[in-house]
């Protein structure tokens, strides 16, 4: 399972980076490959490449604001949730997404 995503909150400080960290740890625990971009106060970090996006099974947007470059995900399965959802229950979130999208969890 390959996942790419973007984390961004209204202030671009705490929730952006906490959401990213929680999602990455949960994905790794589940044995998934993941690359999360952040869009915070200091700009975009760990920017997703076209290859990252192409190879992904789905895109997870843990965001509270409009993200830059959303058009990059055209044609991909995109799931958008608030950062709080990603922070509070990241493992449950990922399992639910995989199940609802009908993907193999491996």
Domains of the chain: 1-22+29-88 (3.40.50.2300)
The pLDDT of residue 106 is 61
Active site residues: 9
Q: What is the mean pLDDT of the chain?
A: 96
pLDDT in tens, 20-60: 999 999 999 999 999 999 999 889 999 999 999 999 999 99
> The whole model's pTM is what?
0.95
Give the confidence band of 96 by pLDDT, cuts at 50, 70, 90. very high
Q: Strand, helix or coil at 15?
A: helix
Best CA proximity match to 59, nearest among 23, 16, 26: 23
Distance separating alpha carbons of residues 1 and 18, to the nearest angstrom:
22
Q: Name the percent of the chain lying above pLDDT 90.
A: 92
């Amino acid at each position: 399972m390959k996942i790419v995503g973007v984390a961004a909150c209204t202030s671009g400080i705490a929730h952006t980076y906490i959401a990213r960290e929680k999602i990455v740890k949960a994905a790794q625990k589940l044995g998934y490959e993941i690359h999360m971009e952040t869009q915070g106060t200091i700009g975009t970090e760990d920017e997703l490449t076209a290859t990252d996006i192409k190879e992904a099974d789905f895109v997870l947007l843990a965001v509270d604001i409009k993200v830059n470059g959303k058009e990059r995900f055209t044609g991909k399965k995109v799931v958008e949730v608030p950062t709080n959802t990603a922070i509070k229950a990241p493992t449950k979130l990922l399992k639910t997404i995989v199940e609802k999208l009908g993907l193999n969890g491996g």
